[in-house]
Structure 1
Amino acid sequence: MNLDVPGDSDRPRSSSSNLTLASDVTTFVRPQLASYEPKNSGDSTIPVLQAFMDYLPPGGKKNLVADIAERKNDDELFQLSLSLVEGLLYRLKAHGKTPSITPSPHTGYKESVEKMASQITESASRNSQKWLKKACLSRDGNRCVISGSFDYDTAVKLGENHDDEIETELAHIIPFSVASYGTKEEHHTTSEIWANLVRYFPSLETRIGLTAESINDTRNAMTMDSILHKQFGNFRLALEPTSQENVYHIQLYRLPSGVKKHLPSNDMVTFRSHDPRYELPSAVLLGIHATVARILHVTGKGEEAERILREKEDIGVLASDGSTNVSTLLSLTNLSSRTATEQKPTNTAPHQPVDDKRENIR
């Protein structure tokens, strides 16, 4: 299955008169990035932009290159990088909302957010998740799609005994949280997130038509071992599409060592439908999840977010009942723009693509 093949639907929505869509469109902006002057030793602008250019699908890469080419100075490049971190990486990683996201400086951003806001008229509801969980269990044969272990609750209900019973959960691919809002401010944030998603992952809109209001679609959900679900939701585990339909390669990023026993030994997963009424998980959506996981890893933004949360837990900032808004906490700590005296230096050297053979960091 070919994902995100370049075509009319993947053409950039903004352009530079000098931009040519060569075989490697990133060549055009490399000198511009090379001349960037970091604000301090913790400035991750260039590693972030380079990682996105390396791993975005063709349509999203073209849009990003156009956005970079439009930038007139280092401050605008910094703002673009910050908007990607706050408007995509942290929102997906932290599963929550912040009062605001640094707006992208690209042409048409405000209009794209307004358009998205007009389309998102109702918050996603958890009321349908009981049905969705049941539908996914039926489609997935009452088993975790990765480990193949049988759902414990179903076994009890059926009066059966299985040697491999585990507790499963409903796992969203694109997190449910980015489609849920309660206030006007959260609605605006949700609109910004989805405007960024469809710009840098055009196939989300052009190929499968997933929207904030259809977040509870079976194409965006799976039955998953509760232990694996936590790692998948934290983007430490991803399912990368292969050339074979419904076959995926498991990508791992610094998992707890005990999790490995829940995974197939060959690091491969094949989806099979046990109920044709419900579509299998989308390769497009899993490709987006895998791309975000990789960018979080190579930029260090995933570990950076987790480190801040651990520090806050150590001093008792997080509520014991789990009610703390994680994304707001990240925003309040200025996670993406801390000064050199407040954070350990991050890599500012030019980013090098990760070798797939070395990618499974366990």
Structure 2
Amino acid sequence: MSSSSKTKLDRKLNSYAPLEPTDKTKEFLRDFFKILSPDGKRNLAGDVSGCANDETLRQLVQSIRNGLLIPMKAHGGQTPTEITPSPRSGVEDSIENLKSLNIEPISRSSQSQLRHHCLERDGNKCLATGQYSHSHAHPRNAITTHLEAAHIIPFALGSFQANDGEAVDRHAKIWVNLRRYFPILRNMSFTSEQINSEKNVLMLDSQLHTEFGQFRLIFEATGVAHQYRIKSFPDTATGPIRNLPKNRLVKFRVYKGSWELPDPKLLEIHACIGNFLHMSGQAEIIDKVLKDFQDCGGLAPSGSTNIEDLLAVSGLSLLPSNANETPDSQKPAEKQRPPEKQDTVSGLSLLPPNVDETSHSQKSTEKQRSTENQGRLCAKFSDTENKPWTY
């Protein structure tokens, strides 16, 4: 099946004509194909084959970027407000079918209990380093650290306003993409309502949690039940990983209680996305988009930022991404949002979150631009093992 899917994908991509030397649409789709399961490969090959022309192929790439990758990787649990629609036939029916399930948003009301269950299950220890929670019972002279509950599928992908039609629509679009390319989610009937469940959470050192949440640290299956090899990347912070086992092997087990261990299928999805982000250079590209918005609230001064990607994050909702052991009262105050910045190339004014309705009209104007112009990113990076792409 994978062989025939690859033939189908290659047949379409071989005829693709890049807009310019930096257009890596073909490479993006081929690399994404590599990390998917056979069912995911079949779906992607069908979507590529069904694209009517080169512009719709570029649109497909953008729909995967800001309708799957950016939501999974966005800092602080931010969720995109603009998602490029997939050009595949039947996608609207899939969105409406998912919306008809009336999936309820998750909340933080049960976080304390969830954290207690996972701490009990994991023996009050970090699943990666074996270090004990500083705040809970531990042997005398044991090495301790601050633990946090790390969600495999991010918390933000289940948090939305149920009475907000646009938010419900965005939620459905993201999950249609996830279930399309990772069909195991559909097979295991996993929806966003299950994000706050023990099988989607593992206790990690707070710094490792950051690396895990940014897909700079992944757990790859070894073929032995609940045994994983921890993999890091060139951009992984070196401090947090110094206490990992020398052979990078860990095995999960239930220390107490009857709570489910982190689900291997969910960890496989996380690992697939992590590998793709670094294989393709998308990790650095997406980080740059998010950093440009975080630093200046708009486009990079050089005019190098992808306009469509910034439209996807310019209205991000700032939600903490995962439960941790820090009470809300001790969390730092929200930073004052930066002033408006002007895109000197396009004249588009991109504002930080919670701006007035003027920004919506500016977004509408920008969305009318051709997909060719929206689909390109001119930034270039140096000194990286995986040379990032520009679109």
Matched, 1:300 2:281: yes
Match of 2:150 in 1: 171
Deviation at residue 170 of structure 1 after TM alignment: 0.6
Instruction: Map 1:197-216; keep pairs closer than 5 Å.
Output: 197-206=178-187, 208-216=188-196
User: What's 1:344 paired with?
Assistant: 380
- Paired residue for 1:137, among 103, 114, 119? 119
Q: For residues 112 and 81 of structure 1, do their structure 2 counterparts lie closer, same or farther at Cα, with a shift above 3 Å needed?
A: same
Per-residue CA deviation, residues 300-330 of structure 1 (Å, 9 max, x unaligned), is 11111222334445547799825879xx979
Residue 108 (str. 1) matches residue 144 (str. 2): no
Choose the corresponding residue for 2:71, options 87, 91, 111. Answer: 91
1:282 aligns with 2:263: yes
- 1:218 aligned onto 2:198: yes
Residues 58 and 375, structure 2, Cα contact 8 Å, conserved in 1:
no
Would the aligned equivalents of 2:122 and 2:255 in 1 still touch at CA under 8 Å? yes
Report the residue type matching 1:344 in the other structure. K
The answer to whether the 8 A contact 2:67-2:173 is kept is: yes
**Letter of the aligned partner of 2:157 in structure 1?**
V
How far residue 204 of structure 1 moved from its aligned partner, in angstroms, is: 1.2
User: In 2, Cα distance between the equivalents of 1:105 and 1:173?
Assistant: 28
> CA separation in 2, counterparts of 1:323 and 1:121?
34
Please state how far the C-alpha of 1:347 moved relative to its aligned partner: 5.9
Is 1:30 the counterpart of 2:24 in the alignment? no
CA distance in 2, matches of 1:312, 1:197: 25
1:82 to 52, 62, 68: 62
Partner of 2:310: none
The amino acid across from 2:147 in the alignment is T
After superposition, the Cα gap between the structure-2 partners of 1:78 and 1:329, relative to the gap in structure 1 and judged at 3 Å, is farther
Shift of the 274–163 alpha-carbon distance from structure 1 to 2, 3 Å rule, reads closer
* Counterpart in the other structure of 1:321: 334
Matched, 1:268 2:249: yes
Alpha-carbon separation, structure 1, partners of 2:53 and 2:10: 14
Contact 1:47–1:347 under 8 Å retained in 2: no
- Structure 2 length normalisation: TM-score? 0.75
Gap change, CA 1:72 and 1:312, over 3 Å in 2: closer
Query: How far off is 1:87 after superposition?
Result: 1.1
Q: Secondary structure at the match of 2:109?
A: helix
CA-to-aligned-CA distance 1:188-247 (integer Å, 9 cap, x gap): 1111111111111111121x3211111111110011100100000000000011211101
The one-letter code matched in structure 2 to 1:48 is F
Determine the structure 1 residue equivalent to 2:224.
244
CA distance in 1, matches of 2:104, 2:158: 9
Q: Is this contact kept in 2: 1:51–1:299, CA < 8 A? A: yes
Counting aligned pairs with the same residue, the percent is 35
State the 1:70 CA deviation: 1.1
SS in 2 for 1:266: coil
CA distances 1:133-178 after superposition (whole Å, capped 9, x unpaired): 00000100110111110011113xx7x6443110000100000101
Following superposition, the deviation at residue 348 of structure 1 comes to 6.6
Aligned mates of 1:128, 1:152 — CA distance in 2: 22
Q: Which of residues 170, 181, 200 in structure 2 aligns to 1:189?
A: 170
2:305 counterpart residue number: none
Quickly say closer, same or farther: Cα 1:323–1:55, change in 2 above 3 A. farther
Q: Tell me which of 109, 133, 144 is aligned to 1:151.
A: 133
Which of residues 13, 18, 38 in structure 2 aligns to 1:58?
Answer: 38
The change in CA–CA distance for 1:290 and 1:120 in structure 2 (over 3 A counts) is farther
Whether the aligned pair in 1 keeps the contact of 2:103 and 2:192 (CA below 8 Å) is no
Instruction: Work out whether residues 220 and 230 of structure 2, in 8 Å CA contact, stay in contact via their aligned partners in 1.
Output: yes
What is the one-letter code of the residue matched to 1:241? A
CA distance in 2, matches of 1:322, 1:236: 25
CA distance in structure 1 between the aligned counterparts of 2:109 and 2:207, rounded to whole angstroms: 24
Q: Which runs of 5+ in 1 are unaligned?
A: 1-20, 350-362
Q: Deviations over 1:81-113 (max 9, x none)?
A: 111111111110003222221111112110111
**Is the Cα–Cα contact under 8 Å of residues 98 and 186 in structure 1 kept in the other structure?**
no
CA distance in 1, matches of 2:285, 2:374: 12
Partners of 1:184 and 1:166 in 2: how far apart?
Answer: 42
Deviation at 1:47, TM superposition (A): 1.9
Q: Partners of 2:239 and 2:114 in 1: how far apart?
A: 29
Which gives a bigger RCO, structure 1 or 2 (Cα 8 Å, sep 6+)?
A: 1
Distance in 1 between residues matched to 2:43 and 2:169, nearest whole Å:
22
Which blocks of at least 5 consecutive residues in structure 2 are unaligned? 299-313, 319-332, 339-350, 354-362, 368-372, 382-386
